[in-house]
Structure 1
Amino acid sequence: MAPPRKHDTNVILDAARTLVLTDGPRAASVAAIATASGAPVGTLYHRFGNRNGVLMATWLRALERFQERTLAAADRPDPVDAGVAMASACIGFGRELPEDAKLLLNLRPSDLLDGGPDDEFQARRARMNAPLIDQLHRIAHDLFGRDTDREIDAVSRAVVDLPYAALRRHAHASALPDWLDADLAAATRTLLESYRA
């Protein structure tokens, strides 16, 4: 059995995220991340390869945490219920992991990575996004009887754009308003119900 890692990966990624959100992406050098996390510079290079590797892992961890919640919520047979649950999961993500939400809302990978995202990053993000896109297709097909671009766009307005806009509006508040969950769920349900064939 391998010994446990001395420096927890989540502590390192949390430190990188804090530096980026507090002082901007350029502040997140390998040396600064090492100092903030308590992990030696050599550990960061060994585990992540370089600065891009640390920041890519930080951003992808936030995306994975978001997607875990959203996909778990989508597991409902009724398309409206599934869409409402997915939208609500977005708000839940923002409430439970506000720093990860701020990272995804405010910074694109190209803002973080030297030279922009490489092919490996793009491919991994596409693989991660595929199950969510499949759920949007399922909801569109169940509501409209088809899932062409127009129907996917309509479902995305309800399930993606509404919660994104709500989170973005309140991203810099100390906490999300208590009423936001119910209001967003009601708005999403109304829009999705209007699509039923």
Structure 2
Amino acid sequence: MAPPRKHDTDVILDAARTLVLREGPRAASVAAIAEASGAPVGTLYHRFGNRNGVLTAAWLRALDRFQTGVLGAAAAQDDPIEAAVAMTAAALTFGRERLEDAKLLLNLRPRDLLDGAPDSEFNDRLAAMNEPLFATLSRIARGVYGSDGERELDAVRRAVVDLPYGALRRYAYTDGFPDWLDADLVAATRALLAT
């Protein structure tokens, strides 16, 4: 059995995320991340390969946390409209509970973070992570509209992606989310899908 890691990966990724959000992506050098996390530079290179590896891991961790919540919420609902509503509610829960991760996803694309474009390994991993999300959107479209064609998928994306994304983006840098936001977005998701 391997010995436990001395420097927790989440602490390292949290430090990278904080540097990016406070000072911008260029401030998140390996040396700065090491200093902020308390992990030696060698540990970061060994575990992540380079700066891009650390920042990619931080961004993908945020995406995984988001998708785990929204996909789990949708899977718990048999009714397609209720699945869509659950996804909207879960997106807001993610924003409240993991605000720093939400800010990272809302404001920075991988190409904004990295030195150079994301590599094929990243693109393959992102595609694999997004596959269940796309399948869920298709399931909702088929359940609501009887088809998962381009127009039907677009309608579902407006209701469960664009709507919560816009609200999260607006409130992510305020003192908090208004208490009424959940009820309003849930009602809006239902209304968009019912028309």
Q: TM-score, normalised by structure 1?
A: 0.97
Distance in 1 of aligned mates of 2:14 and 2:180? 29
Query: How many residues were matched structurally?
Result: 194
Residue 193 of structure 1 deviates from its aligned partner by: 2.0
2:56 matches 1:56? yes
The equivalent residue for 1:4 is 4
Letter in 2 for 1:51: R
Letter in 2 for 1:94: G
The equivalent residue for 2:43 is 43
2:114 matches 1:113? yes
The equivalent residue for 2:162 is 161
The equivalent residue for 1:28 is 28
Q: TM-score, normalised by structure 2?
A: 0.98
The equivalent residue for 2:144 is 143
Over the residues paired in the alignment, what is the CA RMSD in angstroms? 0.6
Letter in 1 for 2:61: R
Residue 41 of structure 1 deviates from its aligned partner by: 0.1
Residue 2 of structure 1 deviates from its aligned partner by: 1.6
**SS of aligned partner of 1:74:** helix
Distance in 1 of aligned mates of 2:20 and 2:4? 28
Residue 163 of structure 1 deviates from its aligned partner by: 0.2
Distance in 2 of aligned mates of 1:73 and 1:146? 22
The equivalent residue for 1:176 is 177
The equivalent residue for 1:73 is 73
**SS of aligned partner of 1:178:** coil
Distance in 2 of aligned mates of 1:138 and 1:102? 28
Q: Which runs of 5+ in 2 are unaligned?
A: none
Residue 191 of structure 1 deviates from its aligned partner by: 1.2
Letter in 2 for 1:84: V
Q: For 1:80-136, what per-residue CA distance to the aligned partner results, in whole angstroms no more than 9, with x for missing partners? A: 000000011111100000000000000010000101211111110010011010010
Residue 40 of structure 1 deviates from its aligned partner by: 0.1
Residue 6 of structure 1 deviates from its aligned partner by: 0.1
Residue 3 of structure 1 deviates from its aligned partner by: 1.3
Letter in 1 for 2:165: Y
- Which portions of structure 1, spanning 4 or more consecutive aligned residues, are displaced by more than 3 angstroms? none
